[in-house]
Structure 1
Amino acid sequence: MSPRRRRERRRARQQGAEIPAAPTRYRMREKLLAIGEDFVIETAGGQPAFKVDGKALRVRNTIQIRDRQGGLRYRVQERVLRLKETMVIQGADGRTAATIKKALVTPLRDRFDVKVAGGPPLHVQGNILDHEYTITRNGKPVATVSKRWFRVRDTYGVEVMAGEDDALVLAIAAAIDTIRQ
């Protein structure tokens, strides 16, 4: 925890304010959709959090995000033959949970719009190729993706704010990683 964050938490405790829960940081590998590849998404401390099941021999790229017990949380599928690159995230029940579309014109930075079923949209902006971007809702951060947190090659971090659906945010990061390839 950074010294600034410690000071903020100490001040909040002294004033009797509710201390917001700390965000959770996950470690992910680049190129999630290598054909048939399975691996584990870990917390920054190295604890297994989710399993990724890459499906081989499919017409379109597909991965499944599963919880530690193996239960399906989200399925990420590429939509082919679209004007804008599009990925669809389906929940365990098969319903669309989110649709990710890349903006057509992005002069300075990469930008994606995420339409979330039953909720306000999310916006993704930053340097997607270098894994340095932010996911926001109504201008407030939902998650931050950065390669700077880990020294391991082909690894990047996803920091999810407290109260968010971690599996959905990780599925969004995986979909964006697939689109950028």
Structure 2
Amino acid sequence: MYVIRERLFAIGDDFDVLDESGAKVYHVDGKVLSLRNRVVIEDPTGQEVASVHRHLVALRPTYEVRIGGEKAAEVRKKLFTPFREKFVIDVPGPDDLEMKGNLLDHEYVIEQGGAEVAAVSKRWLTVRDTYAVQITGAVEHLLIIASVLALDLALDRGVGD
């Protein structure tokens, strides 16, 4: 279980990622003046381990996830999904994931091959954006965290953009 919590009074989209014991495992630095909606995920020593940025030219909101400097996935909003939000997490090879949920409830599941591998819940009644992420499958945890950050960026821009 991870908690992704927006930092209060931060300039840009800065988050801390905490594990189930409350220890900080990652810091997310939202680049303030970035046209590409870019966030950098850093380990506790301040080293970049992953990044998420928006493609400027795309028919639908599309975010590239890089882990260790390598392209790990593209997170794309599916078009024409009334009443539900759906995003494809397109990874190299055949094992794509799908993130789907209810925009109003802010509850999402991430599935791979039809099996749930993670559940994401945006917590209500908090001053800052907070996501609870429960990973139940054998997937790269950093990929799931980065995909949730891509979701947050897409929702901040207005999903219809």
TM-score category by the smaller chain?
A: 0.7 to 0.9
Shift in Å at residue 147 of structure 1?
A: 3.2
Number of aligned positions between the proteins = 153
**Partner Cα separation in structure 2 for residue 37 and residue 110 of structure 1:** 22
Gap runs ≥5 in structure 1: 1-24
**Partner Cα separation in structure 2 for residue 97 and residue 129 of structure 1:** 29
**Partner Cα separation in structure 1 for residue 16 and residue 104 of structure 2:** 22
TM-score w.r.t. the length of structure 2 is 0.83
Q: RMSD across aligned C-alpha pairs, in angstroms?
A: 2.2
2:86 is paired with a residue of what secondary structure? Answer: strand
Residue aligning to 2:88:
113
Cα distance change, pair 160–54 in 1 and its aligned pair in 2 (3 A)? same
Q: Higher helix fraction: Structure 1 or Structure 2?
A: 1
Alignment partner of 2:107 out of 106, 111, 132: 132
Shift in Å at residue 129 of structure 1?
A: 4.7
TM-score w.r.t. the length of structure 1 is 0.75
Cα distance change, pair 70–29 in 1 and its aligned pair in 2 (3 A)? same
Alignment partner of 1:143 out of 106, 118, 133: 118
Superposed CA offset, 1:113-140 (max 9, x none): 1111245100111114532010000011
Q: Percent identity?
A: 37
Residue aligning to 2:145:
170
Cα distance change, pair 71–138 in 1 and its aligned pair in 2 (3 A)? same
Q: Does 1:64 align with 2:40?
A: yes
Contact 2:41 2:50 in 1 (8 A): yes
**Partner Cα separation in structure 1 for residue 29 and residue 11 of structure 2:** 10
Structure 1 stretch 122-131 or stretch 97-106: which is displaced more?
122-131
Contact 2:6 2:14 in 1 (8 A): no
Alignment partner of 1:78 out of 54, 72, 93: 54
What pairs with 1:11-50 in structure 2 (closer than 5 Å)? 25-29=1-5, 36-50=12-26
Contact 2:122 2:130 in 1 (8 A): yes
**Partner Cα separation in structure 2 for residue 166 and residue 144 of structure 1:** 12
Superposed CA offset, 1:30-66 (max 9, x none): 69xx753434211233111111111122221100112
Alignment partner of 1:155 out of 108, 119, 130: 130
